[in-house]
A = this chain, B = another copy of it.
Amino acid sequence: MSGSQDNSVGIVKPQRFDHRDTFALQSGQTLQGFSLVYETYGALNENKDNAVLICHALSGNHHAAGWHSAADRKPGWWDQCIGPGKAIDTNLFFVVSLNNLGGCDGSTGPNSIDPATGEAFGSAFPTVTVSDWVKSQALLADYVGIQRFAAVIGGSLGGMQALQWAIDYPNRLYAAVVIASAANLTAQNIAFNELARQAILTDENFRKGDYYADASTPSHGLMLARMIGHVTYLSDNGMDNRFGRDLRSGDLAVGENVQFEVESYLNYQGRAFTEKFDANTYLLMTRALDYFDPARTSNNNLSQALADVTAKFMIVSFTSDWRFSTQRSTEIVDALIASNKDVVSAVIESEHGHDSFLLPLPRYIETLKTYLQCLHQAHCTSDSLAAEA
**Residues in A lying within 8 Å of B, measured CB to CB:** 26-29, 126-127, 129, 184-188, 190-192, 194-195, 197-199, 201-204, 209, 220-221, 223-224, 227-228, 231, 234-236, 239-240, 242-245, 252, 254-256, 258-260, 262-263, 266-267, 270, 283, 287, 290-291, 293, 322, 325
Q: How far is the CA of A243 from the CA of B194 in the complex (A)?
A: 14
A325: chain B residues at CB < 8 Å are 236
Max count, chain B CB within 10 A of own CB: residue among A198, A240, A258, A283? A198
Max count, chain B CB within 10 A of own CB: residue among A26, A252, A259? A252
Q: Say yes or no: B224 contacts A188, CB within 8 Å.
A: no
Which of these, B184, B197, B322, contacts A236 with CB under 8 Å?
A: B322
A242: chain B residues at CB < 8 Å are 187
Instruction: Give A202's nearest chain B residue, CB to CB.
Output: B220
Q: Say yes or no: A187 contacts B290, CB within 8 Å.
A: no
A184: chain B residues at CB < 8 Å are 245
Q: Say yes or no: A227 contacts B256, CB within 8 Å.
A: no
Q: Say yes or no: A245 contacts B187, CB within 8 Å.
A: yes
Q: How far is the CA of A64 from the CA of B4 in the complex (A)?
A: 64
Q: Say yes or no: B228 contacts A194, CB within 8 Å.
A: no
Q: How far is the CA of A188 from the CA of B236 in the complex (A)?
A: 5
Question: Which 10 pairs, one residue from A and one from B, show the smallest C-beta to C-beta distance?
Answer: A187-B239, A202-B220, A187-B243, A194-B263, A187-B262, A188-B236, A27-B254, A191-B231, A188-B239, A204-B204
A188: chain B residues at CB < 8 Å are 231, 234-236, 239-240
Q: Say yes or no: B262 contacts A190, CB within 8 Å.
A: yes
Q: How far is the CA of A51 from the CA of B231 in the complex (A)?
A: 42
A254: chain B residues at CB < 8 Å are 27-29, 126-127
Q: How far is the CA of A224 from the CA of B191 in the complex (A)?
A: 12
Max count, chain B CB within 10 A of own CB: residue among A28, A191, A194, A199? A191
Q: Say yes or no: A262 contacts B194, CB within 8 Å.
A: yes
A259: chain B residues at CB < 8 Å are 290
With contact pairs A197-B256, A254-B127, A256-B201 given, residues A263 and B228 touching in the complex (Cβ less than 8 Å):
no
